[in-house]
Amino acid sequence: MDLVALTRKLVDIESITGNEGLVGDAVHTELRHLGFESEKVPVEGHRCNVYATSPQHTRPEIVFSTHMDTVPPFIPSSEDATCIYGRGSCDTKGFIAAALSAVETIDLKTLNKPVALIFTADEEIGLRGAKHLAQLNPFRVRYSIVGEPTSLQPIRAGKGYSLAEVTIKGREAHSAYPALGASAVFRAARLINRLEKIAETLKSNQHEAFDPSFTTLNVGVIHGGSAKNVLAGECRFTLEWRPIPTQPSERVLHLLNAAINEEQRADPDFVCEVDASRADSGFETPVDSRVIKLLERATGRESGTVAFGTEGAQMRMLGSEPVVIGPGDIREAHRTGEFVPVQELEACTRILQQAVRELCG
């Protein structure tokens, strides 16, 4: 299997979130060609997850897993002497190619313990594929290696990701006569001021393995009002937070609701609606886990942590000890010039082969 050609082939299949069908078909076909029992499992509409296991095995010792979707826009592949470019090259089609190349060299019949591969849909927007997988719980897993661009550093823990849409109601009036109405923007501003104070209190709960070492929150988008001379009748903002693994993702919601109650006590007409659409927890694998130690030896690097969300928590729901690793740098993902170094692709393939040899025999 030509690793560079396979990576470029995958990058050249447009798979922006919501349109992963063709890349799922390609991966499914390749896995069946390699001797795996591969299944396409619908998630929503024509989208699917792809599950593949060694023949006649239901409890894999190790799973290689990552997502198939990319952020927009579609950018086809190109290459130079050292790198492959294109949308998804490092996030995460390079890992898919490395995983397929790694298992190509394995005689599945000689394994003492089975290996599996899972490729999911819709990670970039809401982890829908991974959550669907965790809900179905098709098999139990001992270890999982989750592909994300970490420059081949093993990642033993990651923060979660949570999201809420907050809507504050006001009462429209002519701005020359503010006593006749109530500004939703002013009300939202007071609530956001409370959230800024909540962000400070969250710093008291530290997890020193992370940088930043606490749960962070952010108000990234705000919309309100209809005209410059009208008191705003409604104001909406988006609140996101990234909880450390030792803190429940609901903690910030509880603090937000307490802040809303405070506002309602000060202003009985204060009306606020909260739509908490995501509450994804983080994950943490013990530093002395066998798979962590294996990958530290294979890479020559100590394991670390990341502040961005991954599918590690969903893989833990399958019973596994997850670790995140992959070729490429997360800082290059989602950019026009996204790329993955060929040298890291080749090294990732060798690392995954070593993991199968040591864990499965």
> Residue 261 sits in a domain of what CATH number?
3.30.70.360
End residue of a domain, out of 280, 306, 327: 280
Nearest to 97 by CA among 86, 112, 108, 107: 86
Q: What does the alpha-carbon distance between residue 247 and residue 245 come to, in Å, rounded to a whole number?
A: 6
Q: What is the pLDDT of residue 54?
A: 85
Specify whether the CB–CB gap between 133 and 314 falls below 8 A: yes
One domain for residues 134 and 73 = yes
The alpha carbon of 215 is separated from its chain's Cα centroid by a whole number of angstroms, namely 17
| Domain containing residue 352 | 3-158+283-360
Nearby residues of 3 by Cβ (< 8 Å), 6 or more positions away? 97, 98, 101, 342, 345, 346, 349
Describe the strand order of the beta sheet including 83-85 as a list of residue ranges.
78-79, 83-85, 339-341
Distance spanning both ends of the chain, measured CA to CA:
22
Q: What is the pLDDT of residue 57?
A: 67
End residue of a domain, out of 254, 280, 306: 280
One domain for residues 255 and 142 = no
One domain for residues 121 and 180 = no
Count of residues for the chain? 361
Give me the residue label for tokens 């719980």. 137
One domain for residues 154 and 52 = yes
One domain for residues 307 and 272 = no
Q: What is the pLDDT of residue 45?
A: 74
Describe the strand order of the beta sheet including 161-169 as a list of residue ranges.
216-224, 234-242, 161-169, 271-280
Q: Give the count of domains, the chain.
A: 2
One domain for residues 140 and 244 = no
> Which string of DSSP letters, residue by residue, matches 200-260?
HHHTTS--TTSSS-S-EEEEEEEEE-S-TTB--SEEEEEEEEE--TTS-THHHHHHHHHHH
One domain for residues 126 and 173 = no
Per-residue pLDDT tens for 277-286?
898 989 999 9
One domain for residues 169 and 148 = no
Give me the residue label for tokens 């795996």. 36
Q: How many Cβ atoms sit within 10 Å of the Cβ of residue 61? A: 21
One domain for residues 152 and 301 = yes
Q: What does the alpha-carbon distance between residue 16 and residue 53 come to, in Å, rounded to a whole number?
A: 26
Per-residue pLDDT tens for 209-250?
999 999 999 999 999 999 999 999 999 999 999 999 999 989
Phi and psi, residue 178, nearest 5°: -60, -25
Q: What is the pLDDT of residue 1?
A: 80
End residue of a domain, out of 231, 264, 280: 280
One domain for residues 123 and 209 = no
One domain for residues 17 and 150 = yes
DSSP state of 179: G
One domain for residues 151 and 290 = yes
Q: What is the pLDDT of residue 58?
A: 67
Specify whether the CB–CB gap between 219 and 239 falls below 8 A: yes
Decide the pairing of beta strands 78-79 and 62-67: unpaired
Q: What does the alpha-carbon distance between residue 139 and residue 48 come to, in Å, rounded to a whole number?
A: 17
Segments of the chain with pLDDT less than 50: none
CATH number at residue 346: 3.40.630.10
Q: What does the alpha-carbon distance between residue 44 and residue 236 come to, in Å, rounded to a whole number?
A: 28
